[in-house]
Amino acid sequence: MPFRKADYGPEWDRIKKRILEREGYRCRMCGVKRYSVGVRHKDGRFTLHIEAASYEEARRYARDGGGLIVVKLAVAHLNHDLSNHEQFLTALCDYHHLKHDQPQHTENAKKTREAKKQELQKGLWEESDAVLI
Ligand SMILES: [Zn+2]
């Protein structure tokens, strides 16, 4: 869900750390561990090369091998509700976080397009009213 960090509240860093620990620093959907380096296939499967101990180590390894990605974890709001109830929070890798939020992104994009269209039509009506007067 595309929110700014400030939207998550002042406790967010602490909550996020607790959730990542609870989930064992693994994606709830695919089980891939944070800072894993490997290949993400189009069908979502992940081929692991190494599980690095740090982001820096993972980046170094990924830089040397072509087409490798570094898995980062995000704490996702499963119910898209920012009240941060921990039973609705989980760790997801970049791939599954995007997949989880995709319907919401699509809906938001649709709403934005419709709002712009209405604004445009409203503007055109006002313009044509002005012509009639
Ligand atoms: Zn995943």
Residue pLDDT, tens place only, 6-45 = 788 889 999 999 999 999 999 999 999 999 999 999 999 9
CA of 2 to the centre of ligand 1 (A): 18
**Tally of residues, the chain:** 133
Phi, psi of 110 (to 5 degrees): -65, -45
Phi, psi of 92 (to 5 degrees): -130, 145
Give the global pTM.
0.76
- Residue ranges of the domains in the chain? 5-100
Phi, psi of 128 (to 5 degrees): -70, -35
CA of 1 to the centre of ligand 1 (A): 16
Instruction: Kindly report, residue by residue over 53-67, the tens digit of the pLDDT.
Output: 999 999 999 998 788
118 or 27, which is more confident? 27
End-to-end C-alpha distance for the chain, whole angstroms: 46
CA of 89 to the centre of ligand 1 (A): 14
DSSP conformation class of 75: E
CA of 128 to the centre of ligand 1 (A): 53
pLDDT value for 127: 61
CA of 26 to the centre of ligand 1 (A): 8
